[in-house]
Structure 1
Amino acid sequence: MAKLSVNINKIATLRNSRGGNVPNLLTVAADVQKFGGEGITIHPRPDERHIRYQDARDLVPVVYTEYNIEGNPIKKFIDLVLEVKPTQVTLVPDADDAITSNAGWDTIKHKSFLQEVIQEFKNNGIRTSIFVDPVAKMIEGAKETGTDRIELYTEAFASQYGEGNKEEAIKPYAEAAKVANELGLGINAGHDLSLDNIQYFKENIPGLLEVSIGHALISESLYLGLENVINMYLRKLK
């Protein structure tokens, strides 16, 4: 069974839209875990437009499942992760003004940089994952960085799946998973996964360890309720 890590960025977005502390991010994180969520993911960005750096610190005593922090490894982010020491850090090559993550790493071009950053995290007992497109040479490059896992960037899958081309949508991801498994890399996945497409994705990705889902899960919860939606995902991931 792949683990479900719930990205709570959208909760922070809603909180920040009015100021104050409603909804309470820490309460939601606690409830996500109480409802069966197997991890909490956050993705702080330099402008702190949703998750704030202080949120990452405040969540430490609240998260008792897996704690995953995503982000571009600029110095401020690296320092935060080394201070917080989450279960996992997921490295994402975001531009400062990116609305959301929109590309995986060029693991060949940035090999030396990634090696250095990853070694620092691993020296501090933090599991590492690299956000990558489903391209064999990028996965092979990821192996050379020393990372523990890759996170497959699934926007293309979700888009094609929604157009009714599920066989074509899953093909590069299944092939990427095969390469990762052969190289001994753990496989995570995330971006635009939803109740509609998660079961098909999971069934066709051998060795899938974890999915990180935020936007769709929170949106679905507006209609169906957070506890209900979390358990719907867990059933589809079995």
Structure 2
Amino acid sequence: MKRGKKYQDAVKSFDKANQYDVAEAISLVKKNATAKFDETIELHIKTGCDGRHAEQQIRGAVVLPHGTGKTVKVLVFAKGVKLDEAQAAGADYVGGEELVPKIQNEGWLDFDVIVATPDMMGVVGRLGRVLGPKGLMPNPKAGTVTMDVTKAINDIKAGKIEYRLDKTNIIHVPVGKASFTEEQLSDNFQTLMGAINKAKPSSLKGQYVKSATLTSTMGPGVKLNVTKITN
């Protein structure tokens, strides 16, 4: 893949083989985020987990202290008083069974996160084939299957993000935007890394975090010093 001049220049600004401390990595990634839009700063962690084993699956959620810098659209599946509660809490869309054909047949996916009350999971489960591959299925571990829809919506709108292993046992998560200050990105990073370190499976033998890279949407990745970010 041929990269543009800006990318080539950015690569020359640091040693790609080197592993950097968090503060230095954040500074480099911010400096190299030169696109015309506000790039997302992302963290990619290669783990030593084997997601094929249930006990080594990592999935959870954490509220970033400074949010993600992104406006998140929330869809809530609920019924009765919970529908009103979800609307009052600021959900972008609320509904029940009538939304199934809209998502299934019309391909409507104008939302980022789904929250569902436990009694609606039978309905939401019918959308598994559509929502599953897109990582949109509500999950109790992520706090998106709950009767407390107000708290779930407030947390998501405040900057709650979900982390999970992909098929190659890598975790991909946003840390913030390039427009954030270095302090804000550092706070978000520490909160995120604290949660991921706590999620280390007790059955895991060997190294938990094999490598970690910080990158912006269009910029090159900067490797992090793994020993400094794990505990």
Q: TM-score, normalised by structure 1?
A: 0.30
Q: 1 or 2, which has the higher helix percentage?
A: 1
**Whose RCO is larger (CA < 8 A, sep 6+)?**
2
Higher Cα Rg, which structure: 2
